[in-house]
């Protein structure tokens, strides 16, 4: 058990790193930098899970996101290798301000909901998160988590495995190199013309 002020300190540091990292993810022009900052954000989210007494989930987050998904992203970035010259031109001021306006609207709606929710107020008046509620030491560990997953949520687990299977088959099918998806040179020229228009 960490002392409360140490927990608070860790939380503040992690939150600041997460905010800075996420802003860098969406503003970097080169996707490789975005991917690397996204790994930082995933690390902070994992630390957040551990602060919330979910150590198993924190490690799963590192394993699945930072381990598997980001490797997939980096692999695709290297495969298509967009050079500086043919990185897409980013949108103008109008597009950016539209997107900024929408995201600001969403944030203010969520912030309004959080600050005016009686339930959140009741829970936060009762004390900070580590004290409320006192959970048994086994909370979030593999044993308790696994028992509950396989006893009460077995159907969800099985459906997830079907989903992953469909994902694998779909990805392999889509990414397979076939004759029919390869362009003839005429089609390629035509495509280039339409892209220019």
Partner 1 sequence: MFSLPAILYLSAFLFSIGTYGVLARRNILVVLMSLELMLNAVNIALVAFGRVHALSAASGEHGGQIFTLMVLAVAAAEAAIGLSLLLVIWRRWETIDLRELCQLNG
**Segment 71-90, which members bind partner 1 (CB under 8 A)?**
72-73, 76-77, 79-80, 82, 86-90
Quick check: 115 binds partner 1 (CB under 8 A)?
Answer: yes
189 binding partner 1? (CB under 8 A)? no
**Which residue in 152, 155, 179, 193 binds partner 1 (CB under 8 A)?**
152
Nearest distance, CB of residue 112 and partner 1, angstroms: 10
Q: Which of residues 37-76 bind partner 1 (CB under 8 A)?
A: 38, 41-42, 45, 48-49, 51-54, 56-57, 60-61, 64-65, 68-69, 72-73, 76
Residue 22 sits at φ, ψ, to 5 deg, of -70, -35
Shortest gap between Cβ of 186 and partner 1 (angstroms)? 14
Does 13 bind partner 1 (CB under 8 A)? Our answer is no
Answer for the pair 17, 26: CB distance below 8 angstroms, yes or no: no
With CB under 8 A as the contact rule, the residue among 135, 137, 155, 193 that binds partner 1 is 135
- When binding is defined by CB under 8 A, the residue of 1, 13, 22, 193 that contacts partner 1 is 22
Residue 28: exposure state from Cβ atoms within 10 A (0-12, 13-18, ≥19): middle
Closest to 22 measured CA to CA, from 111, 97, 103, 114: 103
Q: How far is the CB of 188 from partner 1 (least distance, A)?
A: 8
For position 26 contacting partner 1 by CB under 8 A, the verdict is: yes
Give CA–CA dist 54/47, Å, rounded: 9
136: which DSSP letter?
Answer: -
Q: How many residues bind partner 1 (CB under 8 A)?
A: 100
- Pick from 40, 59, 118, 168 the residue near partner 1 by CB under 8 A: 168
Q: Please name which of 44, 48, 51 lies closest in space to residue 66, comparing C-alpha atoms.
A: 44
Cα separation of the two ends of the chain: 62
Instruction: Output the six-digit token pair for 126.
Output: 């009762």
What gap in Å lies between CA 156 and CA 109, rounded to an integer? 31
């Amino acid at each position: 058990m960490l002392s409360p002020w140490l927990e608070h300190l860790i939380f503040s540091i992690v939150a600041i790193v997460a905010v800075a990292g996420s802003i860098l993810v969406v503003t970097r022009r080169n996707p490789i930098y975005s991917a690397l900052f996204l790994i930082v954000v995933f690390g902070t989210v994992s630390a957040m899970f551990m602060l919330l007494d979910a150590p198993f989930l924190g490690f799963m987050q590192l394993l699945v996101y930072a381990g598997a998904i980001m490797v997939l992203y980096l692999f695709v970035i290297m495969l298509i290798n967009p050079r500086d010259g043919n990185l897409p031109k980013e949108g103008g001021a109008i597009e950016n301000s539209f997107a900024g306006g929408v995201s600001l609207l969403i944030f203010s709606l969520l912030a309004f909901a959080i600050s005016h929710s009686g339930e959140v107020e009741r829970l936060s008046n009762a004390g900070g998160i580590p004290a409320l509620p006192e959970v048994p030491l086994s909370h979030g560990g593999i044993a308790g988590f696994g028992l509950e997953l396989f006893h009460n949520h077995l159907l969800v687990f099985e459906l997830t495995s079907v989903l992953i299977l469909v994902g694998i088959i779909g990805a392999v099918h889509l990414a397979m190199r076939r004759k029919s998806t390869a362009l003839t040179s005429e089609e390629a020229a035509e495509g280039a013309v339409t892209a220019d228009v």
